[in-house]
Structure 1
Amino acid sequence: MDDVLIVGAGPVGLMLACELGLSGVRPIVLEKRTEPSEQPRANGLGGQIIELLDHRGLLERFSEGSPFAGRAPGFPFGSVPLRFDGLDDIPLRLLLIQQPRVERLLAERAIELGAEIRRGCEVVSLAQDTEGVTLGLADGQVRRARYVVGCDGGRSLLRELAGIDFPGTTDDHVLRLGHFSTDGVADPFKPLELAGLEPGWNRTPRGRVLLTSLQHGVLIAGVREKGEPQDGPVTIEDFHAAVRRVLGRELPLGEPIWLSSTAAQARLAERYQAGRVFLAGDAAHLFPAGGSALNVGMTDAANLGWKLAAALHGRAPEGLLGTYEAERRPAAERALVQTRAQAALDRLDDEDGAALRELLAEVFAYEQPARHLATLLHGSDGRYGSAPHPLVGHFVPDLALKDGRRLAELMRAGRPVLLDLGGGAELDGAALDGSELDGSELGGRAEVGGGWIDVVSARADDPPADALLIRPDGYVAWAGSSGMPEAVSAWFTPSPA
């Protein structure tokens, strides 16, 4: 019997494979496509996932060759521009990277960590009992595992086979999106300007046309109009016909690289777990506006990965797996709120909509609204649970330690970290002495939590607490100088047999 079968080799499934591999589990990823997709469905990453990639030592690899990686200068909130000029301390960071490259890099890392990716494996049936889950494949093979995770997208068959409802709404407008080659064209936007258009969304009484570019030599164009996604692939003739319907004329777009047709959806799975079957990413939630899907989905994977590994290794406290849905479903609900608001702003094409967008642009120019929305888009406005210390339940801040390291470097192994910042914190009656450790000693391991927890003593300027207990996914489980044994027991001590 396998430990974990992951259905779907998109960014979320591959991220989960990496997280499990880091924890010593060797998952098998089943993907129905025979080859990796080259469709640039997403053009970048934004939000807390970037800090997580930094924690895993992957950010430099992902940032290589990116046209932009860093603090967000701004963001379109439902076609209302957000600007963060002068707000250097906002959490929102962006990384321009197309989805095929994200998948290639994650697949490489997953394989490095011992995962296996099997392509051309389509799941057609599911049955489970108290010991495991049995999947039937289209080629007649049968796979059995202790746990199965559905990362197979918005049309998830695994979700359907597990009997999990997916309530929500579908937009009554269709968006045709295309990437077009502009190699050899000095200014790809010049012909568009002559046609009376400008970069960004251009509204007409019949719909909207999007014109933008995120990399040299590629123009991104979109056409949004009332209707439904068409059956079959979108052709260049289909795209030009949509442009004519909305604009009333042709546009010089260049040679098509990739074309698609979709309708925005706002959906949330009624539950994230059915027995030994879990959902993550688009299989669990769909957002009607861009910018949040990969952030929420890939951080789903980080939350679930270490908990599944703890259960498989026999070190999970009672109810640990149940905290996955308890923590991640509210995060998706919050993302649905802000993406529904963005979609509503986008959808209003009349004079009332124009007035609302104009007024909100004035409001968003103030510092406090801009900060609030940056935090919302980053995905850090929520908190797991409640505790007296304000850090508990939040992603750990990246402290600069006095020996020259960053706290993020302590998280590379994907293990819990008990960080003593010199407060003399006590664990089971034995005080950590907080003595200075040199770089070779930093990151040493002590027999805490059965040897699973890395205990580190270090110094930092203006530390936020005497000590921090940090979960493998980067969230603070405990902070302060007392109560640590209870926190270790609650999160990292196995339940009695």
Structure 2
Amino acid sequence: MKTYDVIISGAGPVGLFLACELALAACSVLILEQAAEPQTPFKLLPFGVRGLSAPSIEALDRRGLLDALDIHKRMKNLFAAGSPRQAGHFAGLGFRHDEIDETQWKYRLPGSPPTHLISEMAELETVLTARALALGVEIRRGVAVTGVAQDADGVRVNGTIPGRWLVGCDGARSVVRKAAGFGFAGTEPEFTGYTIKADIADGAKLRPGRTVTSAGMYFQTQADHILIQDFDGGAFHGAKQPVTLEHAQAVLRRISGTDVQIAALHLATTWTDRAYQATSYREGRILLAGDAAHIHSPLGGQGLNLGLGDAMNLGWKLAATVHGTAPDNLLDSYAAERIPVGAKVLDWSRAQVAIMRPRPESRALYEIFRDLLKTKDGATYFAGRVWGIPAGDRPVAGLSVPNFEFADGTRVNHLMRGGRALLLDFDGDAALRTLAGSYGIKYVGGRPTETLGLTALLVRPDGVVAWAAHAVVDHTELKSELARWFVPHSAHNND
């Protein structure tokens, strides 16, 4: 039986994107997916729509996938900078484009991809599936992971499927996480959330949009689509009971304070704000990414972006490890970099819940945050946090590479389509070309239209700046940083 370089459990967006990254780097990949069909009814509902943040958009653009999303083509002009439309929210409190000061985002260059977009889960999975298959990824649907074993040389899934590495991208109830014994710690829920598609007999009794009441919150996006938050400590969701028409109606009436009637219930699911994170992202040859590694409420839609960031960070590091071209501890840097990011998102989710509670002190905080979001600095701060855009004068090292444009119209994002690291040289330093060649890194010489005061940058395959020079290049410093992320490999073609 074939031994795969990497087996991935879960064919959601995170598992598919990780598979694409690994296959792009010439790894053999098998995805096992429990569901027999790729789409579920809930992915086709308006609540199956998610917001893509700047790092996710940049990642998709760097792999040539952004324009494959039809929803991107339809909506890319909807969120133009300076428009009066709502751009996002914190705990249901909206901020608008015309209230955001984008000049505070030092590394956002003109012509860069949008800061945020709306994405349909079903379409995103379709695009990623097509790319994965085109790259040679094998996808087996209707195959659940039921058992996991590992030794020093590899893993075995379900007793018969061998691989060198296994990544659990199998969601909040991850079988891989539980079977491999990962620690999972966090805070318990405060509410049960309901996502409902129903016929409402007297829908005029409900207010459109998001309505916060003394009992909770309901959010009506369309006449027959409703989201509810009931602060019951997550009791109903935890009881794992089916949502009946009678129960949905009783909860909706209590939260809305109306006697609204549900004529027919078509679909209903529950969720909570339980916020947990794996205490490590790696146990031997088994790793976690996406909701398998961290769960939180879907408020603000940051879960998808967090998972895609995991996949982009892990892909090139695991591929280098598979091929034996990784420096010591490269794979350990995945958890070192991503666990703090996940912890911040969980705290962001908890903070939103804290001001949405139906209590007087939370209502007071809610009003203060409402005023704050109406200020330019407040709106800019919250937009930057939600969209993953750093503000201020932080050094560029450790951040996403700006999308520099060169004289021939080529942009950095286009140069990253092949998944290779880049050494950008704006001043034509011959020594940099030689260094890039010795590590098999793509050398790019030439001065962009805007340098942001930089003279050279080392860019990892995931688009993160590993090193940057603002004036004279310190070659010793650059060599040290090259050795941290790569191994000499002069046989690479340095085109």
TM-score strictly above 0.5: yes
How big is the alpha-carbon RMSD for the aligned residues of Structure 1 and Structure 2? 2.8
Q: In 2, distance between residues paired with 1:373 and 1:142? A: 48
Instruction: Tell me which moved more, 68-77 or 407-416.
Output: 68-77
Does the 8 A contact of 1:417 with 1:469 survive in 2? yes
**SS of 2:147's equivalent?**
strand
CA gap 1:196/1:101 in 2 versus in 1, 3 angstroms:
closer
Q: 2: distance between equivalents of 1:32 and 1:219?
A: 27
Tell whether the 8 Å contact from 2:206 to 2:256 is kept in structure 1 after alignment: no
Of 298, 318, 336, the residue aligned with 1:308 is: 318
- 2:39 corresponds to 1:37: yes
Q: Which residue of 1 aligns with 2:111?
A: none
The percentage of aligned residue pairs carrying the same residue is 36
* Amino acid in structure 2 at the alignment position of 1:171: P
Which ranges of 4 or more aligned residues in structure 1 deviate by more than 6 Å? 252-255
Does the Cα contact within 8 Å between 2:404 and 2:450 map onto a contact in 1?
no
Unpaired stretches in structure 1, ≥5 consecutive residues: 183-187, 432-445
Contact 1:380 / 1:394 at 8 angstroms: preserved in 2?
Answer: no
On the 8 A contact 1:149/1:278 being kept in 2, the answer is yes
What residue in structure 2 maps to residue 493 of structure 1?
487
Residue in structure 1 matched with residue 463 of structure 2 by the alignment? 474
Q: Secondary structure at the match of 2:260?
A: coil
CA deviation vs aligned residue, 1:215-238 (integer Å, no higher than 9, x gap): xx8644435342321525434443
- Structure 1 residue 307: deviation in Å? 0.5
Q: CA deviation at 1:4?
A: 0.2
After TM superposition, give the deviation of residue 247 of structure 1 in Å: 3.2
Residue 8 of structure 1 aligns with an amino acid whose one-letter code is: G
Residue 250 of structure 1: how far off its partner (Å): 4.3
| Paired residue type of 1:11 | P
Give the 3 Å change call, closer, same or farther, for CA 175–196 of structure 1 in structure 2. closer
Which residue identity does 1:463 align to in structure 2? T
Q: For residues 163 and 69 of structure 2, what CA distance do their matches in structure 1 show?
A: 31
* Structure 2 counterparts to residues 288-437 of structure 1, below 5 A: 288=297, 289-347=299-357, 349-381=358-390, 390-424=395-429, 426-427=431-432, 430=434
**Separation in structure 2 between the aligned mates of residue 74 and residue 353 of structure 1, nearest angstrom:** 24
From 15, 18, 22, the counterpart of 2:17: 15
Q: CA, structure 1 residues 31+232, in 2 after alignment: closer, same or farther (shift >3 Å)?
A: farther
- What secondary structure does 2:345 align onto? helix
Count of residue pairs the alignment pairs up: 457
Q: In the TM superposition, what is the alpha-carbon distance from 1:174 to its structure 2 partner?
A: 1.0
| Residue 394 of structure 1: how far off its partner (Å) | 0.6
CA drift of 1:466 comes to 1.3
C-alpha distance in structure 2 between counterparts of 1:88 and 1:318, whole Å: 42
1:434 aligns with none
Measure, in 1, the Cα distance between the counterparts of 2:115 and 2:199: 28
Tell me the residue number matched to 2:130: 108
Show structure 2 runs of 5+ residues with no match.
Answer: 109-113, 490-495
Q: 2:96 aligns with which of 78, 83, 86?
A: 83
- Distance apart, 1:77 and its partner CA: 0.3
294-303 vs 244-253, which moves further: 244-253
Contact 1:424–1:466 under 8 Å retained in 2: no
The equivalent of 1:457 in structure 2 is: 445
Matching residue of 1:222: 228
Q: 1:427 to 1:458 in 2, by over 3 A?
A: closer
Pair 1:145 & 2:163 matched: yes
**2:80–2:97 CA contact under 8 A, matched in 1:** no
Q: Please, which of 251, 267, 281 is the counterpart of residue 260 of structure 2?
A: 251
Shift of 1:159: 0.6
- What is the alpha-carbon distance in structure 2 between the residues aligned to residue 256 and residue 94 of structure 1? 33
Normalising by structure 1, report the TM-score.
0.85
Which residue number in structure 1 is paired with residue 52 of structure 2?
46
Tell me how far apart the structure 1 counterparts of residues 377 and 92 of structure 2 sit (CA, whole Å).
Answer: 19
- Distance (whole Å) between structure 2 residues aligned to residue 106 and residue 71 of structure 1: 26
- Which one of 105, 117, 139 corresponds to residue 95 of structure 1? 117
Q: CA deviation at 1:299?
A: 0.7
The amino acid of 2:329's aligned partner reads G
1:318 partner SS: coil
Q: Of 212, 223, 235, which residue of structure 1 is paired with 2:221? A: 212
**SS state at 1:177 partner:** strand
Please name the residue that 1:60 is paired with. Answer: 67
Q: Distance in 2 between matches of 1:180 and 1:149?
A: 37
CA distance in 2, matches of 1:254, 1:65: 35
Show CA shifts across 1:369-415 (max 9, x none). 222222222234499xxxx9911111101112221122111111111
State the match for 1:3 in structure 2. Answer: 5
* CA distance in 2 between partners of 1:71 and 1:410 (Å): 26
Q: Determine the structure 1 residue equivalent to 2:189.
A: 171
User: Which 10-residue stretch deviates more, 371-380 or 160-169?
Assistant: 371-380
Question: Distance in 1 between the 2:312 and 2:320 partners?
Answer: 13
Normalising to structure 2: TM-score of the pair?
A: 0.85
